[in-house]
Chain A
Amino acid sequence: MILELLTDGAPLTERLEAARREEQTLAVAVLAALLCRRQEAAAALHAASDGPEAATGAALVALWAGDPMRALVAADRAGGDPLAEALAAEALALTARTEEAWERLARLPASHPYGAVVRAWIHRRSGAPGEALRALEHAPEIGLLGARVRRVRAEALLAGEPPDAVAARNELSAGVWRLAQLGAPDELGRAYLAMAEVEASTPGGGARAAQWLARAHPLLQSFGTTFDQERLRRAFRRFGRRAIDRLVDEGLERCLEGVRAGASRALDLARAASEQRTGGADPSVAEAELVEALEQTRERQEQLIGSLEAALVDKERTGQLVEVVRALFLLDTTEQLDAELPRLALRLGGATASLLRASGDGFETLARTSERSPSARGIEPALREALRVGSARIVGTEERKLAIIPVRYAEGDRVVVLLRSAARAAHPQGSAERLSVLGSAASAAYERARTARAVEEAAARDAATLEAIREGILTLDRDGVVQAVNGAAAGLMGLPRPRIQGQTLRELRGLGALAEAVERAATDETVALPHVDVLVRARRYAGGVVATLQELGKARQRALELVGSAARFTFDDLVGRHPAFLDALADARRVAAVDVPVLITGESGTGKELLAQAIHNASPRASHPFVGVNVAAIPRELLESELFGYERGAFTGARARGHAGRFELADQGTLLLDEIGDMPYEMQAKLLRVLQERAVTRLGGTRAIPVRARVVATTHRDLEEEIRRGAFRLDLFYRLRVVHLRLPPLRERASDVPLLVDHHLARWAARNGRAPVTVAAPVMHELQRYAWPGNVRELANLVEGVASLLPADATRIDETPPLLGRARRSSHPSPAGEPDPIVPLQELEKRALQRALSACDGNVAQAARALGIARGTFYNKMNRYGLR
């Protein structure tokens, strides 16, 4: 019956339930034992009736509880039951009485399933894996016994020559699968442990072995016998180094417990023997058990002492390693490490040591502790192998052992070669592991030294970079303490650098506003320092804030260079004697001195921007920026940010640092809003608010920035008409048109044409280094008759174009420019049938460009659109034809 319990494939718990229900106490005892429910097994066994089968059951229960001696005693009461004999053989083998075990097995037929497993197990333990496999050839493969067959076969396959890890894994795979159905935790733990051994035997399987070991550990700790735990411990020693300390501690506890239990049991047995003797009974059995118990206790005491010794030795050596590593990390430079590493390695056990560096094909000696220190001679392959593998190794003969400790380092791998002292060489495995730790720690120390050096170099480079930058640079830590300041920043702050470094800005007199701007990570804010106004741009980073300081005047200059605006023209550049024109100029001169908005209207090319610049240059603001913005040329969606600026992150595509608007850039100067009539209606309201409040708020910002610039607006449109059609706001019109200057079209002041022609020809001649050019009277007459739809700009372009086409030695324009001729003809139709003169294509193209430019008031983008070509193409053609 018991053998059937071992070879049944149904889950153990289900069968235990059934056995309980049916009150089969012996089956309950055996099944509970197989499930490692030892108390229940003992209780059930106690309740079971006596007899050979019960004795066999008791032997099984005792064996499963890790008590082979009790199992042996019980098996002897089973009256030669084959299973009991097999259990007894197992118990004997467990207590190293192998010969007796074989004697017991000899009484069994070879086909006995449990006997086959025990035979195989003993063969495997005796170093005969082939015999083990043969013993299992007919063993059953079902039930718990089948799972055990699989495991023992796997262990034999792994112990074979050569080991067959694949077959072993397959066996265990099938075994674990059965155990998963059965639910025997101790056997599952053993199978996991065997799996760890399989993985440990395969290349690169160390990590997987550790995982299996970790799975086996809780199962065998909780459900395994002392024999299992000892085996587990051996496995940890072999390939579970990191778990050893815990296991050693637990092992010590267990040994102590074993000694205590053994002593207690021996005392009980001694009392029992004494009572039996006193009562006249035969005390021989009790005395035999007492002898065994005492022997077992002695073994456990020895185990305890061994474990204690191992733990102490391990701790002493670990302590030395910790000290050496600590000393290693006190060294800061590569040079120090090179000098000290061999000496420190000696402290882990060695007579003499040297440090070699891999160099090309060989090794060069960097340091040595004595003249007798080993060199690379004869061991170069071992040195290279150690560097390749990355772990320490011990080579050489019994008399002369060398430890090779690789130290990986980006600037040249190194190897410590240690001539071992005899005492240390006794524990090669543990030593190699410790030396590998030293190698890893040394690698880390070298890398740390390299990093420290790189950091120092970077700091020096940063300092040099800071000094090379013309802008003032200031870095502050998270607490606002100045960490670095370059000379330019110190100069702007008016303090020597030592006074600034290590201080907060608030601690420095007169720098409160700067501190405030830096703290809120201001972007392009003007801050008044004691001696100069600066533009502050601060940016937070993980360690604090970096701020740049630019002297305001220079910053504006740079900004204006980038914006591309400058007021070059004065009233002297505005040529004309026509009364209407002179009236406009007179008004402009008067208004220049007064700080009111000005609206300049006039057709395209009449000189509106020139007049605006002239007003600026004649005003008290002349020393401040003149910033122009062509409202019609800026895309609607960008206009607001161009005018008012934006804070960082205000919208997708915004620059990370934010951007100052044209109002800010103009500051105390003049802001020209060119083509104001083309401003989108909704923008007009925002502009009106700015003009009314005299303050601007950047997009995405909250701070109001005062507007100090004077606004001059120009347009070629009839704003009153625009207001009538609802395209322009009346209130903005009134706000802009405090003074309204109207520039007459050239056709209304034809008398100014000769003056303008002469003026532009003189300019052209001066610019091109040519002799003065005049215009023949008939031609001038034609020029005066022309309507000049492009006004003065058209005249200037035409005159300069015609002059450019003159032969180098010509000084007079004698022919009417073709454009004028055509214009005249178009207004005075030519006789029927008279064909147009043939003109070269290039000339036609050039004229088309000129006309488009003129019609679009010089706006290249619009002109290109009008001609249906790309702006870039238009620019290329302008360059080709010398158009400006």
Chain B
Amino acid sequence: MTLHRRSVELCLLPVLDPREAAPFYEQLGFTVAAADDDEVVMERPGLQLVLERTDALEPDDGKPRLELRVSLEVLDRVWKRDERDEPTLPGPTLSAEGAFEYRARDPSGNRVRITAPLPEPGGAA
């Protein structure tokens, strides 16, 4: 018998309206696996995210509730969307360790830290 091991990280995130929050996470690479009014289960390789309905979020302590690593393109898309709504918003920043970092908020106001790797060398034919 062959045993297949599969590791999936699970993250439970309270949101005010799961259905409203889901598209934000879809643009970060998640797909909806199951949904009802109180809970939306979303997945991407290695990570399952459960958006749980809550009446009130815990007070914001300034720390991100979720950290996600995405591609530069995805990060660009998220930022451009935010930039459209708020043109003065500071863009992704380059960390000293060599990654882009952007702190977004989902529709419920949860802070989400999104990081993306630096571009690979290339360009010349």
Question: Which residues on A are within 8 Å of B, measured CB to CB?
Answer: 12-13, 32, 35-40, 169-170, 172-174, 176-177, 179-181, 183-185, 188-189, 195, 199, 205, 208, 211-212, 215, 218-219, 222-223
Contacts and interface: CB of A to CB of B under 8 A. Distances in A.
From A173, A181, A218, A219, name the one whose CB has the most chain B CB atoms within 10 angstroms. A173
Contacts of B93: 170, 173
Given A173-B93, A180-B72, A222 B121 contact: yes
Interface residues of B, number: 17
B98 interface: yes
A173 B95 CA distance: 8
A82 B57 CA distance: 58
A656 B93 CA distance: 57
A181 B76 contact: yes
B96 interface: yes
A219 B94 contact: no
A212 B98 contact: yes
B104 to A, nearest CB: 15
Contacts of A184: 123
Contacts, number: 63
B118 interface: yes
Contacts of A188: 119, 121
Contacts of B98: 211-212, 215
B117 to A, nearest CB: 10
Nearest to A184: B123
A205 B118 contact: no
A721 to B, nearest CB: 52
Say what secondary structure dominates the interface of chain B: loop
Contacts of B96: 169, 199, 205, 208
B107 interface: no
Contacts of B76: 181
Interface in B73-125: 76, 91-94, 96-98, 100, 118-119, 121-125
B124 A185 contact: yes
Nearest to A216: B121
B94 to A, nearest CB: 4
From B91, B92, B98, B123, name the one whose CB has the most chain A CB atoms within 10 angstroms. B123
Given A38-B124, A176-B100, A185-B122, 12 more contacts: A36-B124, A169-B94, A169-B96, A173-B92, A173-B93, A176-B94, A181-B72, A183-B119, A184-B123, A185-B124, A222-B124, A223-B124
29 contacts: A13-B123, A35-B124, A36-B123, A37-B124, A38-B124, A40-B125, A169-B94, A169-B96, A173-B92, A173-B93, A173-B94, A174-B91, A177-B91, A177-B92, A179-B119, A181-B76, A183-B119, A183-B122, A184-B123, A185-B122, A195-B94, A208-B96, A211-B97, A211-B98, A215-B118, A219-B121, A222-B121, A222-B124, A223-B123
Contacts of B121: 185, 188-189, 218-219, 222
A38 B119 CA distance: 21
B97 A185 contact: no
A744 B64 CA distance: 86
B100 A180 contact: yes
A194 to B, nearest CB: 11
A412 B72 CA distance: 53
A37 B123 contact: yes
Nearest to A38: B124
Given A170-B93, A176-B94, A185 B123 contact: yes
Nearest to A214: B98
A148 to B, nearest CB: 16
Contacts of B123: 12-13, 35-37, 183-185, 223
A208 B99 CA distance: 12
Contacts of B124: 35-38, 185, 222-223
A195 B99 CA distance: 12
From A180, A181, A219, name the one whose CB has the most chain B CB atoms within 10 angstroms. A180
A170 B100 CA distance: 12
A184 B76 CA distance: 17
Contact of B100 (A37, A39, A177, A199): A177
A180 B93 CA distance: 12
Contacts of B119: 179-180, 183, 188
Contacts of A215: 98, 118
A19 to B, nearest CB: 14
A553 B59 CA distance: 77
A216 to B, nearest CB: 10
From B76, B100, B121, name the one whose CB has the most chain A CB atoms within 10 angstroms. B121
Contacts of A180: 72, 100, 118-119
B62 to A, nearest CB: 19
Contacts of A169: 94, 96
Nearest to A181: B76
Nearest to B96: A208
A515 B72 CA distance: 68
Contacts of B92: 173, 177
Nearest to B124: A36
A177 B94 contact: yes
Contacts of B94: 169, 172-173, 176-177, 195
Given A169-B94, A211-B97, A211-B98, A37 B125 contact: yes
B91 to A, nearest CB: 6
A38 B125 CA distance: 9
Nearest to A176: B94
Nearest to B94: A173
Contacts of A170: 93
A191 to B, nearest CB: 9
B81 to A, nearest CB: 15
A12 B122 CA distance: 12
A592 B63 CA distance: 86
Contacts of A183: 119, 122-123
A494 B109 CA distance: 85
A228 to B, nearest CB: 14
